[in-house]
Structure 1
Amino acid sequence: MVQRPLLPAVGLAAVGGVLLTASFEPVAIPWLLPLGVGCYALATRDLGVRRSGLVGLVFGVVFYFSHISWMKDSVGPDAWVALSAVEAAFYGLLGLAVPLLRRLPGWPLWLAAAWTTMETIRSGWPFSGMPWGRLAFAAIDTPAAPAVAYVGMTGLSFLLALSGFCLARFAEAALVRERRRAWAAAAVGVLAALVTPAVVPYDVPEAGSATVAVVQGDVPGPGNDILWDHEQVTRNHVDATIGLADDVAAGRAPRPDFVLWPENSTAVDPFEPGRVNTGIREAVEAAQVPVVVGGIVDDGAKHVLNQGIVWDPVTGAGDRYTKHHPVPYGEYIPFRDIWDPKFGQLALITRDMRSGTRTEPLRVAGVGLGDAICFDVAYDDVMPPQVRDGAELLTVQTSNASFIFTHQIEQQFAITRLRAIEAGRWLAVASTNGQTGVISPDGSVVASARPRTTAVLVERVGLSTALTPAMRLGPWPARILGLLTIGALVSGAVTYRRRRELDGPTLENEPEDQPDRHPAEPRVPSPDPSEAPVV
């Protein structure tokens, strides 16, 4: 096999990474997504394992470093480089598998399964992984978005990857003037699977309704530092809730069934006596309905918990949800007993945040509430299990103050809207200073607050206990695609090895000045002298 030159392949991979980044917020041109994925397949075409891995890595570096560039200015350049490098490496590892999978008939199917499996793995490992950049997350506001209610985030990523790889296979067939009818039909079939749910969306019946008040208290000072004046942050939410109570009493607003505060609306333990605890009690007493408070709770001398706490006007603090996925090197230091850094931003993490495990919905004013805190919304093991356990309404408590001047808040809000479609539930988002909103089950935003303002949204929302097909499938799409990937890799490895044995060494691996390894035998005259006629 004669391998392609490496430099054009690297350039094409870089173009693909740029196109994929542009399909997400803030550029948000989603039709570029299949082109970016297709470039990945074309860039790794006709390359050996190591070269394909290198080209895949280039794609990952260009994509991921640009996709989460917001981390550079919000968390720090060191965290941005470290996380981007780890996530980019997964695209390089996938590149190592491309030559094996391309040996199989219908390789776009197997490569799409492998891509989706790669996304699943990197979304949960190492530590808690990083789901940002999954193909499904770019689908909001497209005809493909309703498909997530049928196949879930994993299934939607698979269909989007398959569309890109079918497009690449069609381009290859066109280049060599191969019969293209079959691949055109395959591309049309994938497209139909993506857009048919837009014509026939899955409607979840509602079994009731509730009125929710969502509070965005705002962050004083520079706006991007929740600790700049954390007591004033709490006071802002208290005052906004008391103002809501005054509006209800005057008939200017309907009485809510409960009030939702954001993550970090209290940055110190709200159970400890002091102004924060007093302020919460004051707000709850004024509202006369439960308030779901977002607070940092002490858990011994070395640990804290990031919790959503149901504070009832009669019984006080009750049900609690604990954040499932604290951010490594942002909210805790992995293996601190081995390595305890005392420099830069890491020195500020004096206590590690523990992970929660709750999947049972919170009970708030008689409503089963499926909660998520900040980045939790991007993980498949947080909201979907709560929906299957009976959550009638979804909420997200987030503190995006650190990212308020970046495009992270737009990316997270897009993910949140997709979660509402996937679950077939109304969803309320409370943020300290942006983006706060109320989202309907079809992903549309029915109310929102302007960033960096104090606002209270009061909306009537539907309640439901019915499950979408995606919720019924649960983790099975990821499991099935993982098994398909393993089987395809084994089969591809066998085929790849046999082909190499038949092809022998490539011309690219034979130096020009190397002597011939198989010199020709001396030419024997014909006929041989012994066979010459006897004279």
Structure 2
Amino acid sequence: MSVSSPPAGPTAACGSSAQVHASRGPLSPAPVAVLLALIGGLALWLAFPPFGLWPLAAVGPFLLLLITRGRSALAGAALGMVMGAAFFLPLLTWTGIFVGDLPWVALSLAQAAFCAALGAGTAVVNRLPAAPVWAAGLWVAQEALRSRLPFGGFPWGRLGFGQADAPFASFAAYGGVPLVTFAVALTGTVLTLLVRRPAMSRRSAAGQQPASRRRWALVCAAAAAVPGVGVLVELPLAGSQLSAGGELATVAVIQGNVPRSGLDFNAQRRAVLDNHVEQTLLLAERVDGGLTPRPDLVIWPENASDIDPFQNPDAAAAIDGAARAIAAPILVGAVLDGPGRYLTNAGIVWDPVSGPGASYAKRHPVPFGEYMPARSFFRFFSEQVDLLRRDFLPGTDPGVLDVGGVRLGDVICFEVAYDGLVSEVVDGGASLLVVQTNNATFGYTAESEQQLAMSRLRAIEHGRTVVVAATSGISAVVAPDGTVVDRSELFTPWSLTGAVAQRTQTTTATRLGSTPELALAAIAGAAVLAALVIDRRSRRARTHPEHDIEEEGPHDL
């Protein structure tokens, strides 16, 4: 029996394919690859607010797939870590403005570690046919993990969140933020097909040029097709899922401002409450004078009252006076004293006649910001952990509240970044989304712009008007198609009263929930496993060719 030729059959074919792909060496030396990883990370950063250069988001997936070709999973992890650090360190600078460099660097590198896993996976699937598809799916899988782990995850910096002004944004109505991420990543990874190693055999220049031109044309068409589809699906959405129709409600948004920015903004808690009361009283004067329509409800931001109105009669009287003056219920963002050393971050419905009623307690307190996990452990690294003297307890129920005849869905601050928390209030019947937030801690940084961009994607995803009420800005009203109707500036008193659409229809994304994300992540994970199995069989075939032939022979027969 001759053993000089490889066996036929599926296993041999897979092994042969893997050898072909694995035999491709890196397209660039290691120093150049590291430089390209840095460029890719910086391009990702520039795609987000305040720059908003959204086309650059595709550069990261393009370069990561390119520089991991022909490299090991370990090398891919190193390059992914470099790209992740170059992205998250500048993106999250706002976290270190007031709390110091150590928390900023630690958070950024922790997020970059997920990009390291992404780089390793990308290097593995690079050995497969259709590698751009699997690599794009890995971006979704990476973001899915990062949004859940550790301590409930930190979804900041997902590719989809930087696409509010892009054609890709319309995909959110069909598959949420994960589908937007996939579309952006696929556009970038497909472009890697333009960069290939020279053929093993030389062809004549006359024969190569037409093929080369056809290849460029096909790849460019494929890359342009993804955002092109986004433009096409936006047209029917404008007339159905994202249209402004539905019953109107008149909503007032109050931004009272704070005495100063930084961690000590709430040192003058009564001043913050008084600011919001004053702006509401001024609005009431304009309403009584016929200059402004009377609102059905008024939205105050998170931390508008850091004095517990249930414990402090003066605070309760101030809020009650504002509600009576405006003759409409107020959704008050308040900090409530809880049992023992615990606090609650809540939104309270304050009726002008009956006073405080239903409330929502924030379900996802921010680790290291609103509660300190493993306090004794992290104290070894910084004594600043004790600046957070009392922990916030999480709520248990979605923030669906009936306020002034409007069934609204309340999420507080960073909760807008979490798919499940927003989806649950829409599933609970919310016809209007409200984001109560307090960004005073982060000063004049990009944090507020980045959070507003998330709110715009949520509007498109669920076909709902989104009202953002911020203590110091940016407050805004976002239409169901993601358009910013009006917005405030940072650290200025501001109020807005206007009619907003209440929507009861559900988008495809709302109905599917997390299914697109799980499906894309599962497919990408299966591709990684398949590549590893094929690679293992390929190495085994090269090491023990006779054994493989004897083993595979009966199956071939």
Same fold (TM over 0.5): yes
Instruction: Give the conservation status (yes or no) of the 8 Å contact 1:262–1:430.
Output: yes
Q: Deviations over 1:198-219 (max 9, x none)?
A: 3332533633111001000011
Aligned residue pairs total 504
Structure 2 residue aligned with 1:209: 248
Confirm or deny that 1:166 pairs with 2:202.
no
Distance in 2 (CA, whole Å) between partners of 1:140 and 1:197 is: 15
The counterpart of 2:320, out of the listed 276, 281, 284, is 281
Q: Deviations over 1:321-354 (max 9, x none)?
A: 2222221111111134766679543212111112
Structure 1 residue aligned with 2:91: 67
The counterpart of 2:358, out of the listed 304, 319, 325, is 319
Secondary structure of the 2:334 match is: strand
Secondary structure of the 1:239 match is: helix
Distance in 2 (CA, whole Å) between partners of 1:476 and 1:209 is: 32
Structure 1 residue aligned with 2:504: 465
Instruction: Give the conservation status (yes or no) of the 8 Å contact 1:296–1:307.
Output: yes
Instruction: Give the conservation status (yes or no) of the 8 Å contact 1:426–1:441.
Output: yes
Identity among equivalent positions (%) equals: 39
Structure 2 residue aligned with 1:531: none
- Per the TM alignment, residue 81 of structure 1 is displaced from its structure 2 partner at its CA by 0.8
The counterpart of 1:253, out of the listed 292, 303, 307, is 292
Distance in 1 (CA, whole Å) between partners of 2:124 and 2:538 is: 11
- Per the TM alignment, residue 184 of structure 1 is displaced from its structure 2 partner at its CA by 4.2
Instruction: Specify whether residues 223 and 47 from structure 1 end up closer, same or farther in structure 2 by C-alpha distance, changes over 3 A only.
Output: closer
Structure 2 residue aligned with 1:50: 74
Secondary structure of the 2:298 match is: strand
Confirm or deny that 1:350 pairs with 2:384.
no
Secondary structure of the 2:265 match is: coil
Q: Deviations over 1:416-453 (max 9, x none)?
A: 11111111111111111110111111111212222211
Structure 1 residue aligned with 2:469: 430
- Per the TM alignment, residue 186 of structure 1 is displaced from its structure 2 partner at its CA by 3.3
Secondary structure of the 1:228 match is: helix
Task: Please identify, of 142-151 and 170-179, the stretch whose mean Cα deviation from structure 2 is larger.
Answer: 170-179
Confirm or deny that 1:378 pairs with 2:417.
yes
Counterpart of 1:117, as a letter, is A
Confirm or deny that 1:296 pairs with 2:335.
yes
User: Which runs of structure 2 are paired with 1:349-498 in the superposition (5 Å)?
Assistant: 349-359=388-398, 361-498=400-537
Instruction: Specify whether residues 72 and 172 from structure 1 end up closer, same or farther in structure 2 by C-alpha distance, changes over 3 A only.
Output: farther
Secondary structure of the 1:494 match is: helix
Instruction: Specify whether residues 226 and 285 from structure 1 end up closer, same or farther in structure 2 by C-alpha distance, changes over 3 A only.
Output: same
Distance in 2 (CA, whole Å) between partners of 1:303 and 1:278 is: 24
Secondary structure of the 1:415 match is: helix
Instruction: Give the conservation status (yes or no) of the 8 Å contact 2:24–2:69.
Output: no
Secondary structure of the 1:74 match is: coil
- Per the TM alignment, residue 190 of structure 1 is displaced from its structure 2 partner at its CA by 2.4
Instruction: Give the conservation status (yes or no) of the 8 Å contact 2:262–2:442.
Output: no
- Per the TM alignment, residue 404 of structure 1 is displaced from its structure 2 partner at its CA by 2.5
Distance in 1 (CA, whole Å) between partners of 2:321 and 2:503 is: 32
Task: Please identify, of 423-432 and 267-276, the stretch whose mean Cα deviation from structure 2 is larger.
Answer: 267-276
Instruction: Specify whether residues 187 and 336 from structure 1 end up closer, same or farther in structure 2 by C-alpha distance, changes over 3 A only.
Output: same
- Per the TM alignment, residue 156 of structure 1 is displaced from its structure 2 partner at its CA by 0.9
The counterpart of 1:78, out of the listed 99, 102, 113, is 102
Confirm or deny that 1:198 pairs with 2:231.
no
Instruction: Specify whether residues 304 and 342 from structure 1 end up closer, same or farther in structure 2 by C-alpha distance, changes over 3 A only.
Output: farther
Instruction: Specify whether residues 175 and 301 from structure 1 end up closer, same or farther in structure 2 by C-alpha distance, changes over 3 A only.
Output: farther
Confirm or deny that 1:33 pairs with 2:57.
yes
Confirm or deny that 1:131 pairs with 2:155.
yes
Secondary structure of the 2:174 match is: helix
- Per the TM alignment, residue 222 of structure 1 is displaced from its structure 2 partner at its CA by 4.9
- Per the TM alignment, residue 185 of structure 1 is displaced from its structure 2 partner at its CA by 4.7
Instruction: Specify whether residues 119 and 174 from structure 1 end up closer, same or farther in structure 2 by C-alpha distance, changes over 3 A only.
Output: farther
Counterpart of 2:144, as a letter, is T
Structure 2 residue aligned with 1:144: 168
Counterpart of 2:443, as a letter, is I
- Per the TM alignment, residue 397 of structure 1 is displaced from its structure 2 partner at its CA by 0.6
TM-score by length of structure 1 reads 0.89
- Per the TM alignment, residue 74 of structure 1 is displaced from its structure 2 partner at its CA by 3.3
Instruction: Give the conservation status (yes or no) of the 8 Å contact 1:75–1:402.
Output: no
Secondary structure of the 2:266 match is: coil
Distance in 1 (CA, whole Å) between partners of 2:341 and 2:375 is: 11
The counterpart of 1:230, out of the listed 230, 255, 269, is 269
Secondary structure of the 2:472 match is: coil
Instruction: Give the conservation status (yes or no) of the 8 Å contact 2:444–2:490.
Output: no
Which of the pair has more CA radius of gyration? 1
**Where do 5+ consecutive residues of structure 2 fail to align?**
1-22, 201-207, 544-557
Q: Deviations over 1:17-68 (max 9, x none)?
A: 1111111111211111112220111121110121111111111111111111
Distance in 2 (CA, whole Å) between partners of 1:174 and 1:469 is: 44
Instruction: Give the conservation status (yes or no) of the 8 Å contact 2:118–2:138.
Output: yes
**Where do 5+ consecutive residues of structure 1 fail to align?**
505-535
Instruction: Specify whether residues 214 and 173 from structure 1 end up closer, same or farther in structure 2 by C-alpha distance, changes over 3 A only.
Output: farther
- Per the TM alignment, residue 174 of structure 1 is displaced from its structure 2 partner at its CA by 8.7
Distance in 2 (CA, whole Å) between partners of 1:358 and 1:400 is: 24
- Per the TM alignment, residue 125 of structure 1 is displaced from its structure 2 partner at its CA by 0.7
Q: Deviations over 1:283-330 (max 9, x none)?
A: 112122110000111221121111111111222211112222221111
Counterpart of 2:51, as a letter, is V
